[in-house]
Structure 1
Amino acid sequence: MDKPLRDKVAAVTGATRGAGRAIAVELGAAGATVFVGGRSTRESRSRVGRAETIEETAELVTAAGGRGIAVRCDFTVPADVDAFRARIESEVDGRLDVLVDDVWGGEQDVEFKPFWETDLDRQLGMWRNCMEAHFVALHKLVPLVIKRPGGLVVEVTDGDSDSYYPESMAYDSVKVAIRRLGFALAKELEPHGCTAVAVTPGFLRSEQMLEHFGVTEENWRDAIAKEPHYVMAETPHYLGRGVAALAADPDRAKFAGRALSSWSLMHEYGVTDLDGTQPDWGRWNTDVVSTGTAPTSVDASAYR
C-alpha cells in the first residue's frame, strides 16, 4: 500500500521545524491527516525567533499527500492545548490514532559547561518549557488516543540509552526524562490496547544545525571540515520515515516502552534518508566515536 495511513489521524506537537516537521510530513506522505501544532506562525514568531512556521509545515504535509492542519498552540498553556484538542474534536470527530510529542523550544537555553557555571534561570526555564509542555500535551491529548485500541504515542528525545551524555546536565536531564515518558506511557496505555515509545535521531541536519555550521542541505558536506563526525549526518526525514513505518506496523506493540533510534527503525523497516542512504549513527558511535578513532581514517560509506 502506498498510503498505509490513509484514514488515520495524527497530531504532532513542536511541528514547526526539525524532526517534528519532518515526522508530520512523512505521516502525511503515508496518507494521514496531521494536526501540526507549534508557536511560530506567519503572524507571530516564538521566542526562538526562527522563520519556520506551522502553516508551512501543514502545506508540506498536504503537498506530500496527506492533509495538513495548522493549529497555533503553546503547549505549556493548558487553554491552548484545550483549543488544539477542540480542533481535533470538531474536524475529525475526536479521532486521534497517532500522537507525536516533539515539543522542545529550549535550544537557546542549553549551555555546554559545568552545571554550576550555567545560568540557573535559563536551565530551569528549559526544564519547565520542555517538560511542562510534554505533560500538558499528554494530559489533554492522550484521552483521544485511548478512545480506540491501536493508538500510538511517540515521545521524541535525544539518545536511545542512559550511556549517552550530551555534555550538559540540564539538557541531559530533560532528554532522559522524555525517554522515560515513553517507558511509563507504555505501561499506562497497555490496558487500552495502545502503544507508546520514545524515538531519537542521530546526528541531525535540522534547519538550525545546518545554520550553525554555515551550510545548506545542498552543501552540507562542507561542514565535515568543522566537525568530522558530521559525515554521518542525517536529515530529519530519516527519523520521520521510521516513525511513519512504525505507525503503519500492525505489530508495533512489540516495541512498547522502548527507545527507538532512526537507525534501529532503519534496520526494522528498511527506510532510507532522502538521498537513499541509510546512516547508522549507532554503529558509527560504537566503532568510531567511542574508540577515539579519527573519522577521516574510516570509510564512512560503509556506515551509510
Structure 2
Amino acid sequence: MKPLHGKVALVAGATRGAGRGIAVELGAAGATVYVTGRTTRTQRSEYNRPETIEETAELVYHEGGRGIAVQVDHLDPEQVQALIARIEKEQGRLDILVNDVWGAEHLAQWNVPMWEHSLERGLRMLRLAVDTHLITSHFALPLLTRSKNGLVVEITDGTAEYNSTNYRLSMFYDLAKMSVVRMAKSLAHELLPYSCTAVAVTPGWMRSEIMLDHFGVTEENWRDATVKEPHFIISETPRFVGRAVAALAGDPEVARWNGHSVSSGGLAQVYGFCDLDGSQPDCWRYLVEVQDAGKPANASGYR
C-alpha cells in the first residue's frame, strides 16, 4: 500500500517546475492529484512556454498515481470556486493543498530600485504570487478542513530565516516570496482548531525547465552550466522538493511542522529521501556558508 493511497491532492500551479515535481511525487506515493495551470495543449499562458498540465497529469499516471488536469487561472475566483466544487463532487474530499502558483519570472527586474522597476510588472508579480494563493485557499480550505490532518503547503523561494536577513534581488520579488512564508504562519494559526497543518516549503536552486533553458543545458548535461555559474553545482531537480512535500503528506506527525518554514534539503535530512541522482543537496546552508561568503564553488559536504 502506497502511503498516500486514497488521499486527494490539489497542486495549484503544476504546469512545470516545482509544481510538476510535487504532483509527480504525490502521485508516486499513491495520491489522486488535481494539477492546475493556465497552459494546455491548445492554449498557452502569458509565459508562452511549451509545458502543459496534460503532460504533468500523464507523468503522475506514469508514476502510479492518478493525475487530473484542469485548466484554471487562479486569479479568477469563479474558476477556482468551480475547481473546488468539481473536486468535492468527484472525490468528496481534499486532503492536501499545495499552493505553488507563481508564473512571474519574466516580470522581475533584478537589482533595480523599486522606483525604477516597472510598477505595472511589479504589481502583476505580487498578484500572481500572493492573490492566487489567497483566492485558492479561500475556496479550498472549507473542503480541506473536513479531512482530519489536512495539509496545506505554501511553496516559496527561501526560508524565513534566509529571507529575513537577505535582500532577494528585487523589492517586489522579496515581498512576494516573504508574503508566502507569512501565509503559512497565519494559516497554521487558523487551521489549528481543525487539526490541519500549514507549512512553507522552499526548494533550493532548482533545475526547472526555465532554469535549464536559461543556461542552455538539459537535465542530462546540467553540469555544463557550472562553466557559466559555478555555484549551480548545488542545484536540484524539481522532484527533490516533490519528495519533500510527499514526505510531509505521509507523515502522521506532520503537525510538528505547523507554521514552520522548511527547505527540501532540510527535510531530506529528517526524512531520508534523496534527489534523483541519490544526493541530498542542502542549498540554503550552501548559500550562506559558501556562495554568500565569497568562497569558490564546491558542493562537497553539501550534497
Q: Which amino acid aligns with 1:261?
A: S
Task: Identify which range, 279-288 or 169-178, moves more after superposition.
Answer: 279-288
> How far did residue 283 of structure 1 move?
2.4
Instruction: Provide the C-alpha distance between the structure 2 equivalents of 1:291 and 1:51, rounded to a whole number of angstroms.
Output: 37
- Establish whether residue 104 from structure 1 lines up as the match of residue 102 from structure 2: yes
User: 2:31 aligned with 1:32, yes or no?
Assistant: yes
The answer on whether the counterparts of 2:75 and 2:128 sit within 8 Å (CA) in structure 1 is yes
Letter paired with 1:35 = Y
- Alpha-carbon distance between aligned partners in 1 of 2:129 and 2:246, rounded to the nearest angstrom: 24
Q: Show the counterpart of 2:261.
A: 259
Matched residue, 1:14: 13
- CA contact 2:157–2:203 (8 Å) conserved in 1: yes
Question: Residues 260-304 of structure 1, C-alpha deviation per residue, up to 9 Å, x if partnerless?
Answer: 101111011011001111111122123212321121xx3x23211
* Partner residue, 1:136: 135
1:77 matched residue in structure 2: 76
Matches of 1:33 and 1:125, distance apart in 2: 32
Q: State the Cα distance separating 1:239 from its structure 2 match.
A: 0.6
Tell me the CA shift for residue 189 of structure 1.
Answer: 0.2
Structure 1 CA distance, aligned partners of 2:289 and 2:11?
A: 34
CA distance in structure 1 between the partners assigned to 2:167 and 2:24 by the alignment:
30
1:93-139 deviation per Cα after TM superposition (whole angstroms, max 9, x unaligned)? 2x000000000011110110121111111111111222111111010
Aligned partner of residue 10 in structure 1, secondary structure: strand
Partner residue in 2 for 1:182: 184
How far apart are residue 167 of structure 1 and its match? 0.9
Q: Which runs of 4+ in 1 moved over 3 A?
A: none
Q: Which residue of 2 aligns with 1:90?
A: 89
* Aligned-partner residue type, residue 63 of structure 1: H
Match of 2:211 in 1: 209
Question: Which of the numbers 242, 245, 257 marks the counterpart of 2:244?
Answer: 242
Instruction: Provide Cα deviations, 1:186-234, integer angstroms capped at 9, x if missing partner.
Output: 0000000000000001111000000001100001001001111100000
Residue matched to 2:148: 149
Structure 1, gaps ≥5 residues long:
none
- Look up the equivalent residue of 2:275 and give its one-letter code: D
SS across alignment from 2:106: helix
Q: What's 1:117 paired with?
A: 116
In the alignment, the residues of structure 2 paired with residue 252 and residue 219 of structure 1 have an alpha-carbon distance, to the nearest angstrom, of 36
Amino acid at match of 1:122: R
Q: % of aligned pairs identical?
A: 56
Query: What's the secondary structure of 1:116's corresponding residue?
Result: coil
CA distance in 1, matches of 2:8, 2:118: 41
Contact (CA 8 Å) 2:27, 2:33: kept in 1 or not? yes
Aligned residue number for residue 48 of structure 1: 47
**Normalising to structure 1: TM-score of the pair?**
0.96
Aligned length, in residue pairs = 299
Q: Following TM superposition, by how much is the alpha carbon of 1:165 offset from its aligned partner in structure 2, in angstroms? A: 2.6
Cα distance in 1 for partners of 2:38, 2:12 equals: 10
Distance 1:101 1:228 in 2: 31
Q: Is the 8 A contact 2:26 2:242 kept in 1?
A: yes
1:275 maps to what in 2? 277
Q: Please say if residues 88 and 94 of structure 2, whose CA atoms lie closer than 8 Å, have aligned partners that are also in contact.
A: no
Q: Which moved more, 1:279-288 or 1:6-15?
A: 279-288
How far has the Cα of 1:51 moved from its partner? Answer: 0.6
Q: Distance in 1 between matches of 2:132 and 2:87?
A: 18
Q: Distance in 2 between matches of 1:24 and 1:163?
A: 31
Q: Give the Cα–Cα distance (whole angstroms) in 2 for the partners of residues 188 and 223 of structure 1.
A: 43
Q: Which runs of 5+ in 2 are unaligned?
A: none
> Aligned partners of 2:302, 2:214: CA distance in 1, in Å?
24
Q: Distance in 2 between matches of 1:232 and 1:164?
A: 19
CA distance in 2, matches of 1:287, 1:211: 28
Work out the CA distance in 1 between the residues paired with 2:300 and 2:295.
16
Q: Residue 198 of structure 1 corresponds to which residue in structure 2?
A: 200
Query: Is this contact kept in 1: 2:202–2:264, CA < 8 A?
Result: yes
Compute the displacement of 1:170 (Å): 0.3
CA distance in 1, matches of 2:25, 2:130: 25
Counterpart residue number, 1:126: 125
CA–CA distance in structure 2, aligned partners of residues 252 and 80 of structure 1: 30
What TM-score comes out, normalization by structure 2 length? 0.97
Change (3 A) 1:287 1:129: closer
